Amino acid sequence: MEKESYSRRSFLNKLWVALGVVAFAEVVAVAISFFKPQKAEPAADELDAIVIAGAVDSFEPGTVSAFVQGKFYLARLDDGGFLAMSRNCTHLSCSVPWISKENKFICPCHSSEFDIKGEVINPPAPRALDLYPVAIENNILSVDTSKPRRRSVFEPNQVVYVKKT
């Protein structure tokens, strides 16, 4: 009887030790995962800000395409280069439509006009339309609408071209 009691007590002691080891291991695992550097994932709104505009060849030179998602225009210049521009007027932020038959943007609020590159051709707009970064990968254009870039005037280095291989 005493031997059986000893054996039960010994078993329970070993069980408690084993449970203690398991609990300790869990605490260590949680601590490691807490302090381990996490891989930086892009935020959901950053991913939403990237608009896949389409294949390079789907845009004719000398045209402007409006993108409702992202609220921007993508202009393909006569030389094949691309500019993505905000649709907000730089005067008082009215939405500026592209008037294709006149080949320019004309603001309905105070009649500012911009050429296909977003350059002011008629004030009161004080500066060119804001730009968005354009990337071209595997012949597909994407526009990052999270980072509008202010500019005073059009400059040739703002135009994005397909890289020659």
Identify the residue whose tokens are 């203690």.
20
Nearer CB in complex with ligand FES: 53/129? 129
Identify the residue whose tokens are 């291989």.
165
Nearer CB in complex with ligand FES: 113/144? 113
- Min dist. Cβ of residue 65 to ligand FES (A): 21
- Min dist. Cβ of residue 90 to ligand FES (A): 8
Element (H, E) at 142: strand 140-144
Interacting residue ranges for ligand FES, rule: CB under 6 A: 89, 91-92, 94, 107, 109-110, 112, 124-125
- CB-CB contact of 147 with 132 (8 Å): yes
Nearer CB in complex with ligand FES: 89/141? 89
- Min dist. Cβ of residue 49 to ligand FES (A): 24
Structure letter (DSSP) for residue 114: E
Residue 45 has φ and ψ, to the nearest 5°, of: -70, -25
